[in-house]
Amino acid sequence: MNAPGDIRILEIRTLRGPNRWTYRPVLEALVDIGELEEWPSNRLPGFNERLQAWLPSLVEHRCSYGERGGLVRRLAEGTWPAHILEHVTLELQNLAGMPGGFGKARETSRRARYKVIVRAWHEAVTRRALHAGRDLMMAAIEDRPYDVDGTLAELRRMVDRLCLGPSTACITDAADDRDIPAIRLNDGNLVQLGYGTRQRRIWTAETDRTSAIAEGISRDKDLTKQLLAAVGVPVPEGEYVRSAVEAREVAESLGYPVVVKPYDGNHGRGVFTNVLSGDEVEQAYAVAIDEGSGVLVERFVRGNEHRLLVVAGRLVAAARGDVATVCGDGRSTIEQLIERQLNSDPRRGRTEDAPLNPVRLDAAARLELARQGLDGGSVLPEGRRVLIQRNGNVAIDCTDEVHPDTAALVALASRTVGLDIAGIDLVVEDVSRPLGEQGGAVVEVNAGPGLLMHLKPAEGTPRPVGEAIVEHLFPSGDTGRIPIVGITGHRGTTAVARQVAHLLRRSGRRTGVASGDGLLVDGRRVRELDGAHWDTAHQVLLNRTIEAAVIENGPRAIAEEGLAYDRCLVGVVTSLDPAATLDDLCIDDADGLWGVLRTQIDVVLSEGASVLNADDAPVADMARLSDGQVILYGRIADSEVLAAHRANGRRAVIARGDDVLLAIGAETSMLAGLLAGRDPDAVLPAIATGWAIGFTPEALREGIESFDAAAQPRAAEPTAQTAAVH
């Protein structure tokens, strides 16, 4: 059929924080659907069928009707391409392995132009998903083929490459559940949890408390063993060897079976367990020497491999190794059996999040077979079971089985090495019995252990390891937050920021300011450019020395970038100017502006407060959005708004002549003469903010009175030569 039109993505904006649509980062696309404006989905022949054939999981979208199949019903009834694009983009992200999330499609005041807003877990991935969604839709509209699988494969690759790895993600998710903010610091897995001086850092399963020395010790297997043996943790005795002959000698002095393994290898490569003879020792040596900088020969500890995860001195998860065997059918070779009986298991895959790896006939497995007089081409008689791999992925949860003495021993092992988070490799036949009686031993202590085996065990219950790590970093009740004061409005916001920053600094807090004055760190102006933007605010939150933050957000900055913080203690809105529309952003009336400015109030914490201008009706109306308290301020002492607010027993800061009244319901106290010669538009909201934070009236008076020219930011030193090129 003839294409009735095209979907054009005119521009894509990244809103990196809370915004007028939602609390989370989103992409906001301006989309022109042209002539398709006349073609809702029910009028496009075959479109719905093709779309649902390509993306059958769209049936899960509960849109419009709040139930499964909701979207499908809308498609049948007829809905417009922008709305469908929103859902297709979200579904592509979903199928690529990202969690689902928020989406919205909104008409603009121009015909055929829509805003499509979709949750952006990662900007580049979502951008790609949006474009792919558009292409997919056009193919469905125009009845052309579309490579859905290829697109998904590409998106999945992007997710693997660009998004946080599963270990890190489980920690940030747990932090999110605890309402602790997270900021990614690099393209890898380095994440800041919390803000300013209260922040902590993680990098996969390492924390900023993970000691570099301890990590070094854990890499030195010999030293680790010595230290563990000294404190009574059982370890396999053994020696470092420098030649195949020496390996044989040591093996003979220890007694067979032994283990031969690389000194500092990784991921089990070149590790030979249960080596039974001198010849085998020499063979194993030859392989192991290529995997590390030397070879260890140790007493073989009989049993299965286990991984025990210790966080802050407590065992939080344990997993057991997967022992792979095949069973003969009288016809197939071992290689065929491996493919059929083992690798066909959907849990076995090569990607990072597959719980089990495919079984390969590697050197260790071949040695194991050779010992039984077999090789990969051998045909096994029916019913004969053969061990292929002794220690495959450690992925079978056994947390509840661990004997308490063993839990105490592995905790001691992590303390002895000095790690706050450690993955302890333990070999033992039965983890539910004490180690001593079965000769079990700790064979390795790992820093930065992978968490996947505990999050997605191949068998058994997933364990809340992310929660345990977050609890370790942020004991209950600590959300890693510093007091943040966010200020927006169309007038006087920079002046308010100055006053508030002054109050905070006087109270002894090292305060960061991002405002029209630039970036200020504890009174030192380090950047002069207009700082009322996401970037500058973000820099304040990154600063590990900052104890309190004052962040001014211009209305345009909120609309274009979102807020830099997820929540704040105090949100201030000074005024709304209906004339200050942002037409280029399709925000062209007072309602639109209100929708932008309210973002500041939406993010106020329940223990915080909103500070609103009572004299500006739309602003005062935002009071109903506040999760926290509301403190109104105004110069019209007898206004209806203030009266109603106070009638409910709430707080207000009111100008009366040169005096400032602090009112709680009907009760008032007075800061006499405080407004003389001062700007009430800056002083009143600053007092309200200080009051919200908990300053006494005396401290407020002193803070306002001491604010003078000297308290203004120092002139910046020339910085042109040192500004980074971005």
Partner 1 sequence: MDITRVRALRGPNVWSRHTAIEAVVTCDEDERDLDRLPGVERALTRLLPDLPPLRSAPGGPASLAVALARTAFELQRRAGCDVVFHGERPTRTPGVSRIVVEYTHEAVGQLALELAAGLLQALRAGEDGDALAAIGRLRELDEDVRLGPSTGAIVSAAVARGIPYRRLTDGSLVQFGWGMHQRRIQAAEIDDTSAIAESIAQDKELTKTLLDAIGVPVPAGRSVTDVEDAWQVMRSLGAPAVVKPRDGSQGRGVTVNVETREGLEAAWAAATAISDDVIVERCIPGDDWRLLVVHHRLVAAARREPPMVISDGERTVRQLVDEVNRDPRRGDGHATPLTRIRLDPIALARLASQGLDADSVPEPGRRVVLRNNANLSTGGTATDVTDEVHPEVAARAVEAARMVGLDICGVDMVCRSIARPLEAQGGAVVEVNAAPGLRMHLAPSYGKPRPLGEAIVDRLYPAGEDGRIPVVAVTGTNGKTTTVRLIAHLIAQTGLTVGVTDTNGVTVGSVRTDSGDCSGPKSARNVLMHPDVEAAVFETARGGILREGLGFDRCRVGVVTNIGEGDHLGLNHVETAEEVAEVKSVVVQNVAPDGMAVLNGEDPLCVAMAERCPGAVTVFGFDETHPVLAGHRAAGRRVVFRRGGQIVAAQREREVRIALDQVPLTRGGAIAFQVANTMAAVAAAWAIGLDWDGVRRGLRSFASDAATVPGRFNLFAYRGATVIADYGHNPDAIRALVQAVGTLPGARRSVVISGAGDRRDEDLRAQTRILGDAFDDVILYQDAAQRGRADGEVVGLLREGLAGARRTTRIDEVRGEFAAIDLALGRLTPGDLCLVLVDQVRDALDHLVQRVARAHDAAGSDAADRGTG
Contact residues: partner 1, CB under 8 A: 185-186, 190, 201-203, 206-217, 220, 223, 227, 230-232, 408, 412, 415-416, 418, 447-448, 519, 521, 524, 526-527, 538-539, 542-545, 716-719, 721-726
CA angle 307, 310, 312 (to 5 degrees): 170
Q: Which CB, 7 or 183, lies closer to partner 1?
A: 183
How far apart are CB 114 and partner 1 at their closest, in Å? 36
How far apart are CB 720 and partner 1 at their closest, in Å? 8
Q: Which CB, 212 or 327, lies closer to partner 1?
A: 212
How far apart are CB 83 and partner 1 at their closest, in Å? 39
Q: Which CB, 209 or 491, lies closer to partner 1?
A: 209
Q: Please say whether the dihedral angle defined by the alpha carbons of residues 252, 255, 256 and 261, taken in this order, is positive or negative.
A: negative
Closest of 612, 662, 653 to residue 635, by C-alpha: 653
How far apart are CB 290 and partner 1 at their closest, in Å? 24
- Owner of token pair 């100008």: 655
Q: Which CB, 94 or 515, lies closer to partner 1?
A: 515
| String of DSSP letters for 393-460 | -EEEE-GGG--HHHHHHHHHHHHHHT-SEEEEEEEES-TTS-SGGGT-EEEEEEES---HHHHS-SBS
Q: Which CB, 694 or 718, lies closer to partner 1?
A: 718
Q: Which CB, 208 or 478, lies closer to partner 1?
A: 208
Q: Which CB, 348 or 527, lies closer to partner 1?
A: 527
How far apart are CB 480 and partner 1 at their closest, in Å? 15
Find the helix or strand (DSSP H, E) in which 500 lies. helix 493-506
Q: Which CB, 539 or 574, lies closer to partner 1?
A: 539
Q: Which CB, 405 or 607, lies closer to partner 1?
A: 405
How far is the C-alpha of 41 from the C-alpha of 162, rounded, in Å? 34
Q: Which CB, 321 or 423, lies closer to partner 1?
A: 423
How far is the C-alpha of 636 from the C-alpha of 617, rounded, in Å? 12
Cis omega (within 30 of 0) for bond into 257: yes
DSSP 205: T
Q: Which residues contact 369 (CB under 8 A, 6 or more apart)?
A: 334, 361, 375, 376, 378, 386, 388
How far apart are CB 181 and partner 1 at their closest, in Å? 16
How far apart are CB 302 and partner 1 at their closest, in Å? 21
How far apart are CB 109 and partner 1 at their closest, in Å? 39
Q: Which CB, 667 or 717, lies closer to partner 1?
A: 717
How far apart are CB 240 and partner 1 at their closest, in Å? 13
3-state secondary structure (DSSP) of residue 10: strand
Which of 103-109's residues contact partners 24+ apart within 8 Å by CB, and which partners? Answer: 104/21, 104/22, 105/80, 108/30, 108/586, 109/586, 109/588
Q: Which CB, 448 or 628, lies closer to partner 1?
A: 448
How far is the C-alpha of 320 from the C-alpha of 426, rounded, in Å? 9
Q: Which CB, 664 or 716, lies closer to partner 1?
A: 716
How far apart are CB 199 and partner 1 at their closest, in Å? 10
How far is the C-alpha of 4 from the C-alpha of 464, rounded, in Å? 52
How far apart are CB 723 and partner 1 at their closest, in Å? 6
Q: Which CB, 466 or 489, lies closer to partner 1?
A: 466
CA atoms within 13 A on the CB side of 552: 27
Q: Please say whether the dihedral angle defined by the alpha carbons of residues 555, 556, 557 and 562, taken in this order, is positive or negative.
A: positive
How far is the C-alpha of 327 from the C-alpha of 314, rounded, in Å? 40
Residue 705 token pair: 């009175």
How far apart are CB 261 and partner 1 at their closest, in Å? 20
Find the helix or strand (DSSP H, E) in which 279 lies. helix 278-288
> What is the phi/psi pair of residue 80, to 5°?
-95, 155
For 116-151, b/e burial (b = at least 16 CB within 10 A) is bbbbbbbeebbbbbbbbbbbbbbbbbbeeebebeeb
For 387-411, b/e burial (b = at least 16 CB within 10 A) is ebbbbbbbbbbbbeebbeebbebbb
How far apart are CB 531 and partner 1 at their closest, in Å? 11
Q: Please say whether the dihedral angle defined by the alpha carbons of residues 126, 128, 131 and 132, taken in this order, is positive or negative.
A: negative
How far apart are CB 158 and partner 1 at their closest, in Å? 19
Q: Which CB, 126 or 172, lies closer to partner 1?
A: 172
3-state secondary structure (DSSP) of residue 223: helix
How far apart are CB 230 and partner 1 at their closest, in Å? 4
Torsion of CA 493, 495, 500, 504, to 10 degrees: 130
DSSP 67: S
Closest of 398, 402, 443, 396 to residue 301, by C-alpha: 443
